[in-house]
Amino acid sequence: MYYTKPKLLYYRLAQAVCRIAGKYLFRPQVLRNEIKDAKGPYVVIANHQSMLDFLTLIGLTKRPMSFVISQSFYRSLPITGFLDKLGVIPKQQFQTTVSDMKKMKTVIKNGQPLVIYPAGLMCEDGLSTPVPLATYKFLQWLKADVYVARCRGTYFAMPKWSKKIRPGKTTMDVYKLFTKEELAAADLDTIQRKADEALLYDAYREQETLQFRYKQNDNIEGLEHVLYKCPHCHAEFNMEVRDGNTLHCRACGYEAKSDELGFLHNTKGFGPEIRYVSDWSRFILDSLTEQVRNGEDVWLEDVTAVHMIDPKTHKFVDVGHGTLRLNEHEFAFRGTLNGKKATLTFPTDPLPTLPFKPGKYMEIQHGENIYRCYLRKGHLVMKFINLVKIFYVLHQESTKEQIA
C-alpha cells in the first residue's frame, strides 16, 4: 500500500499554527520529550482529554508524524486537502478496517513515526474512555517501539460539555513504554496493564495534585447534561445550572457549587458531598449498570433528526428524521432518509461508546456512513451513551464466559 508522506512545508506550517494556538490555550510544560531525537519507525500512543490535545504533541519532534484522526472530524473540515498533505490517516472511531490497518502499517514499514489516540474519544467527565484490547494486539502487530504521550490538564481547558474554552496550564510527558523487542516478548495482559497505567486517567484526581487554574473554571454551564441524575433523591433530568456555577436539583433542592479549581461543594447541608465530577458520573453509570444487571427494562427511544456530511460543503446537513431505539444489542432507526423510507439497525456489541455532544447529538458510524442524530429530547443523549458503555461491558463479559 502506498505511503502518503507528510509534505514538509505544510507540516512546518501546521506546527507553527499549533505552537501559537497551544501556547495560548494550553500553556504547556513538557516534562519529558523522548521522541525529540528518536530515530527510525515508532508509534506514539496518546491519552485524549480534549479535542485539541495534538497542539502540543505535533511540535515535540522535527520529524513529521502521521496522525490517525477520526473520519468524522476529517470529513467535517473544509481543509481535507491540507490534511492530506500532512499525511493524516482518517478512520472510523472504534472501527478499524483492514485497509486502515495496512495504511498504519505502511507508515512503520517506511521507517516513519505514527501517532494513535487509542481511546478514540475525548472524555465528557474527566474519566478516560477504556481502550479496547484489540488496540494492544494491533500494537504488537506493528512491530515498532512504542512511546506514550500523556497530557494533563487539557480536559479543564476544553471541557466537552462546555461552549467556552478556559486557557490554563497543562503538562505533557513523552517517554518510551516498550521497545519493539519488549513488545514482541510480552503477553497481552502485560501490555494492557502497562499501557492502561500510562494512558488511563481521572482528570479531577490529577487536578487535586496539580492545582492548575483555568479561566472561568467555576462556570459549569452544560455539565447538567452529563450529571443528569441527582445523587440525593436520584431523580433524573432535574438538574439545572444556576448562577453559572451551581448544580441544582429541581426535585429535592440538592445543590453543589463549583470552585475555581473545578471541584464541587455541597451548599445545602443535606445529601452527599461529591467533590469530583468524575465520581458523580461514576455514580450515575453504576446506578444504571445495577438496573441493567437486575433485568430492569432500560431501553430508550426518542424522535431524532438525522444529519450526514455533505461532501461538497463538509458540513453536517439534515437528511431525514424518525425514531431511534436502543436495546441491549442494537440501535434501530425507522423513518425517512433523503426522502425515502428507511429502516436501519446498527449493532452495539463492538462499540465501547459513541462520539457525542452532551445535550445535543450522538453519532452512529456504520461503514462509510456517519449518522449524526439530534434527539428531540437532547437531555437523553448522555443516558443513551451510558447504556452503550454498559452493553459493551456486558458483551465483553459474556464473550469471556463463552471462551472459558
Instruction: Provide CB contacts within 8 A for 54, sequence distance 6+.
Output: 18, 46, 67, 115
Grid cell listed for 321: 428524521
Coil/strand/helix, residue 270: coil
Find the CATH number of the domain harbouring 382. Answer: 2.30.29.30
Q: In this structure, are 169 and 261 located in the same domain?
A: no
How many whole angstroms separate alpha carbon 308 and alpha carbon 372?
6
Coil/strand/helix, residue 401: helix
Q: In this structure, are 312 and 261 located in the same domain?
A: no
Q: How many domains does the chain divide into?
A: 3
Q: In this structure, are 284 and 170 located in the same domain?
A: no
Q: In this structure, are 269 and 176 located in the same domain?
A: no
Find the CATH number of the domain harbouring 21. Answer: 3.40.1130.10
DSSP letters for 32-95? EETTTT--S-EEEEE--SSTTTHHHHTTS-SS--EEEEEHHHHHTSTTHHHHHHTT-EEE-TT-
397 φ, ψ to 5°? Answer: -65, -40
Cβ atoms within 10 Å, residue 162: 17
Instruction: Give the domain-ending residue among 274, 293, 312.
Output: 293
Q: In this structure, are 57 and 171 located in the same domain?
A: yes
Q: In this structure, are 117 and 44 located in the same domain?
A: yes
Instruction: Give the domain-ending residue among 210, 233, 254.
Output: 210
How many whole angstroms separate alpha carbon 174 and alpha carbon 194?
15
pLDDT in tens, 82-95: 999 999 999 887 77
Range of the domain at 27: 8-210
Instruction: Give the domain-ending residue among 244, 271, 293.
Output: 293
How many whole angstroms separate alpha carbon 89 and alpha carbon 116?
10
Residue 27, judged by CB atoms within 10 A of its CB (0-12, 13-18, 19+), counts as: middle
Task: For the full predicted model, state whether its pTM sits above 0.85.
Answer: yes
Q: In this structure, are 337 and 312 located in the same domain?
A: yes
Along the 404 residues of the chain, how does pLDDT read in single tens digits? 667 889 999 999 999 999 999 999 999 999 999 999 999 999 999 999 999 999 999 999 999 999 999 888 888 888 889 999 999 999 887 777 788 889 999 999 999 999 999 988 889 999 998 888 888 999 999 999 999 999 999 999 999 999 999 999 999 999 999 999 999 999 999 999 999 999 999 999 999 999 999 999 999 999 999 999 999 999 999 999 999 999 999 999 999 999 999 999 999 999 999 999 999 999 999 999 999 999 888 889 999 999 999 988 999 999 999 999 999 889 999 999 999 999 999 998 888 899 999 999 999 988 789 999 999 999 999 999 999 999 999 888 877 655 44
- With respect to residue 218, please indicate whether it lies within any of the assigned structural domains: no
